[in-house]
Structure 1
């Protein structure tokens, strides 16, 4: 209140001041200090624990159906680095989610949070990557394939990864499913997936009749959940759910000459990320493992493991073992072990085969091999591959890169152990292993059909078998 107004009103009576000071606070009001101010950046430790969805097999689809037991609450938004327009799109997306879906908490990486929090009229959350696993229900990426890899790398020490909703806004975007102008439909679809809201929330009479006559299945016996009541009118129907492609990962372990896992010495490769070592290896795991035993400390990769000569002028000499048996001595610039998802990345550029992401396999691809008869190999997903630096190496140290996100130098006698990640159901009905990617729904709206974007991307983006001389 301006001072001139105070002068005209005169002094405030003392009895009025005392009455206001001693009046009991209303039970409906919270202390001011407990209310987060707009533009605040809060820590994720204040958020509720992560909600893990369930995935259901479909008799008509090779994809899985996403079923939330309750609405997702904590969403991590990851935009592409050094792209101002993408950052603005992330702000637009965040505002839409906050306005139309109350109760959703938005989480950003520290660097992004510091850039955009002043543009958002509500608090946001952040934390170091090590604190995200127990809090994040869903991840939304805005960028290219590298942004999806960055999102997956945040959970590379864990067997359980939240569903990833990806918007293609990068230079290639072969892994990206949605165009950003579809963000409202995409978000609604993944948020409401498996909601099982009451039939009265369905606006279309034909949809109500179909829902009333639906056939029972193993999940229709569950009671209708009322947690989605605050978003009435957004239901997709009782039988509608988002489709998920579960992308297999590699489990990678780097071991020293004594057989001790040194994954904790892997360093980030991007200067845009905090230069942090991985959490230290527990003392109970610092023991030698046999090649035939499961890895006790693994770093997960969605694309590939690469070992190469780096700046050394000499070819790398690498002994390759499969399931404990010696396979070959590779003399090359390097060698890759990739997933089907990674078969269209570095492996493809090195001459490797293209594999559908649902194929359960590992692909070994040499990089510029000295022998013309050294061809790419496809192995079962449960194969155990060991790459060991030969004593014949003239370059005494080679470089190991995992998904391009972590690297380490390895010397003579050290080993790189790679195996496919075990993927399957957990006792509580969920899934462990793999990276669940939300697939764009078919254009005709039929939930029983697959919209195989992999085929479209193969032709449209990678120009598979593209003729010469055509524009």
Structure 2
């Protein structure tokens, strides 16, 4: 029996008879089998005239493990992901494609090479590897197995495989897809470079158009990319005695805090009564707000929930924190922009009528706080031991200007666009 060009040749006397066979279907493999993560290098532009807003991205060696995240339930995005994965694998054969569990199990048959996904998630931990801002990555029943020993560090802390295996993070979708991807690294000290393709509804954060994907991949792999580092918030929850407690996500890699790309907010939730929140800046009492809730956002998040609540728009390179009340009772309670090194505390007043208010991080419920309990929010250190903080977003060609922010503000948010005029 001979195998030729996808057909089986069976010798019958002096001739041959051919039967068609299907191409080999690769199984989904565990990320445990992948090499450890390659950390990129960042440097400021050497030219004296160059802007300091963007950083140069280079690699000590070629990236190997590429995590692809797509917008769910959109056929053309699914097709684009398949095309992108095939292009990366054919152009850079040594790379490995990582997909979320549900995606991997639904499209792995489209490839002639193996794809990788998460190992079985520990059933005993409150931390889901596939955490998201909404239920987009259900874990198949087959993956609900006891934790493997390889998922813990020598100190016993739980390790998220995404954090130790992902060299490059690629998103195909809108701003919600980028937030979801960032949430997968919400408890990681270092986020891999994010290459985002605008294929969603708005795409304010999406840096590249889909028709630029060949150029975008080349730029990143050849170390010719530039990145804009977007600040993250660190969020801690404390009880009435000042003792730090974890949220529903639990503690991972020894980090009791979550990180937010956009914002953290407390909200009255389903309770009909307004929340009464005491606001402190660097330990000093600022005010007592009576409102539906409070938002503390990053400059990146200033164009999201905060903007809808009347907050200011802040350039992503301006290191700062923004506090915005949600539907306050007093019209004199206005948004505030504070230095990034400030520590903001939101404490639920003892006079609050409900027992608890919700705490949400980037749109995902993180837990709740009761009367006398508080959340403390501060900016993540951008330069820290072992590497850089923030979210390094690979700069694309759309939007105009050096960092694309002005073009996005005018082209996508229609900043100060006159009423009644066509585009």
- Which aligned pairs between 1:265-276 and structure 2 lie closer than 5 A? 265-266=247-248
Aligned to 2:375: 416
Deviations 1:34-83 (A, max 9, x none): xxx74211011111110101111114022000011111000000001121
Tell me, in whole angstroms, the C-alpha distance in 2 between the residues paired with 1:391 and 1:278.
26
Range 327-336 or range 402-411, more displaced = 402-411
Tell me, in whole angstroms, the C-alpha distance in 1 between the residues paired with 2:272 and 2:328.
14
Deviations 1:201-243 (A, max 9, x none): xxxxxxxxxxxxxxxxxxxxxxxxxxxxxxxxxxxxxxxx211
Q: Please tell me whether residue 454 in structure 1 is matched to residue 410 in structure 2.
A: no
Aligned to 2:185: 155
Deviations 1:249-303 (A, max 9, x none): 000012233333332x42xxxxxxxxxx434696xxxxxxxxxxxxx62100000
Residue of 9, 18, 31 corresponding to 1:44: 31
Structure 1 pair 7/50, CA: closer, same or farther in 2 (3 Å)?
A: closer
Q: Secondary structure at the match of 2:332?
A: coil
Unpaired runs of 5+ residues, structure 2, are: 3-9, 15-23, 122-128, 130-159
Aligned to 1:230: none
Higher fraction of helix: 1
Tell me, in whole angstroms, the C-alpha distance in 1 between the residues paired with 2:326 and 2:263.
13
Q: Secondary structure at the match of 2:264?
A: strand
Work out whether residues 74 and 138 of structure 1, in 8 Å CA contact, stay in contact via their aligned partners in 2: yes
Q: Secondary structure at the match of 1:85?
A: helix
- Which aligned pairs between 1:93-132 and structure 2 lie closer than 5 A? 93-127=84-118, 129=129, 130-132=160-162
Higher fraction of strand: 2
Q: Please tell me whether residue 433 in structure 1 is matched to residue 389 in structure 2.
A: yes
Aligned to 1:137: 167
Aligned to 2:332: 373
- Which aligned pairs between 1:251-270 and structure 2 lie closer than 5 A? 251-263=234-246, 265-266=247-248
Tell me, in whole angstroms, the C-alpha distance in 2 between the residues paired with 1:454 and 1:6.
66
Residue of 44, 60, 64 corresponding to 1:57: 44
Q: CA RMSD in A?
A: 2.1
Q: Secondary structure at the match of 1:440?
A: coil
- 1:453, distance to aligned residue in structure 2 (A): 1.4
- Which aligned pairs between 1:358-397 and structure 2 lie closer than 5 A? 358-397=317-356
- 1:312, distance to aligned residue in structure 2 (A): 1.1
Range 449-458 or range 44-53, more displaced = 449-458
Tell me, in whole angstroms, the C-alpha distance in 2 between the residues paired with 1:90 and 1:280.
30
- 1:405, distance to aligned residue in structure 2 (A): 2.6
Tell me, in whole angstroms, the C-alpha distance in 2 between the residues paired with 1:86 and 1:422.
35
- 1:425, distance to aligned residue in structure 2 (A): 5.7
Aligned to 2:155: none
Choose 1 or 2 for highest CA Rg: 1
Residue of 190, 203, 213 corresponding to 1:183: 213
- 1:397, distance to aligned residue in structure 2 (A): 1.3
Structure 1 pair 280/135, CA: closer, same or farther in 2 (3 Å)?
A: closer
Work out whether residues 442 and 451 of structure 1, in 8 Å CA contact, stay in contact via their aligned partners in 2: no
Tell me, in whole angstroms, the C-alpha distance in 2 between the residues paired with 1:279 and 1:318.
26
Tell me, in whole angstroms, the C-alpha distance in 2 between the residues paired with 1:328 and 1:124.
53
Structure 1 pair 324/173, CA: closer, same or farther in 2 (3 Å)?
A: same
Work out whether residues 150 and 405 of structure 1, in 8 Å CA contact, stay in contact via their aligned partners in 2: no
Q: Please tell me whether residue 242 in structure 1 is matched to residue 212 in structure 2.
A: no
- 1:452, distance to aligned residue in structure 2 (A): 2.8
Structure 1 pair 126/281, CA: closer, same or farther in 2 (3 Å)?
A: closer
Aligned to 1:344: 303
Tell me, in whole angstroms, the C-alpha distance in 1 between the residues paired with 2:193 and 2:230.
11
- 1:8, distance to aligned residue in structure 2 (A): 6.1
Structure 1 pair 325/43, CA: closer, same or farther in 2 (3 Å)?
A: same
Tell me, in whole angstroms, the C-alpha distance in 2 between the residues paired with 1:70 and 1:425.
22
Deviations 1:354-411 (A, max 9, x none): 0000000000001111111111101110100111000111122111100013421221
TM-score by length of 2: 0.82
Unpaired runs of 5+ residues, structure 1, are: 10-36, 194-240, 267-276, 283-295, 444-448
Q: How many residues align?
A: 363
Residue of 330, 347, 362 corresponding to 1:403: 362
Tell me, in whole angstroms, the C-alpha distance in 2 between the residues paired with 1:399 and 1:407.
8
Deviations 1:75-95 (A, max 9, x none): 000001121211111001001
Aligned to 2:147: none
Structure 1 pair 244/470, CA: closer, same or farther in 2 (3 Å)?
A: same
